[in-house]
Amino acid sequence: MKRIWMAMAALLFFLAGCASQQVAKPQVADFPDHYRQFDAALGWEVKKNPNDLIVDGVFKNLRYFQMTDIEVWVETVDPAGKVLSRSVSFIIPRTVMQDESAPFSVRLPRNAAANKLRFTYKYTGEEGGNDEGGGDLRTFQSFDTPIPQ
């Protein structure tokens, strides 16, 4: 019986050690490119491959008690303003609480004529305190940024 208790104590000790390990989540400041508005902040990095652009980043909720159904759309745009390609990342987890962040990633075909990226993020902002959802606000923001050389 004493052996069982000792084994259980050792197991709890090791499990408690594992539970205290936290993986550092990427933050907006960890990325070379940034955008900040009253409701959200984004940080991202553009990786260029021969055939495509990969935009990896993080979305941070700055304004609402929680945001749900977050989408980050990225388009490549030419100097005349024509959209050449478009891709979307649906943020998971579905709900991002205030001051929390979640990663996003999109892949776009590479086009020599593209000179900028157009980001559009959409979400439902929830103030909290209303069980009927009457305070929910579905909205979006958009901004352009040059494609890094």
Domains of the chain (ranges; CATH) run 25-146 (2.60.40.1230)
* Residue 136 contacts residue 124 (beta carbons within 8 Å): yes
- What percent of the chain has pLDDT above 70? 81
Name which of 14-18, 51-55, 97-101 the model is least confident about. Answer: 14-18
String of b and e for 6-23 (b: at least 16 CB within 10 Å)? eeeeeeeeeeeeeeeeee
Q: Is 89 exposed, middle or buried (0-12, 13-18, 19+ CB in 10 A)?
A: buried
For the entire predicted model, the pTM comes to 0.80
- pLDDT (mean) for 17-36: 79
Sort strands 66-77 and 83-90 into parallel, antiparallel or unpaired.
Answer: antiparallel
The pLDDT-based confidence of 134 (bands split at 50, 70, 90) is: low
Q: What is the structure's pLDDT at 43?
A: 98
Q: What is the pLDDT of residue 149?
A: 84
CA distance 27 to 30: 5
For residue 91, the tally of other CB atoms under 10 A from its CB is 22
Identify the pLDDT of residue 128. Answer: 72
Q: Mean pLDDT throughout 114-140?
A: 85
Longest dimension (CA), the chain: 79
For residue 92, what is the enclosing H or E element? none
Tokens 């609480």 correspond to what residue? 97
pLDDT at residue 131, as a whole number = 60
- The span from the CA of 70 to the CA of 146, in Å, is 23
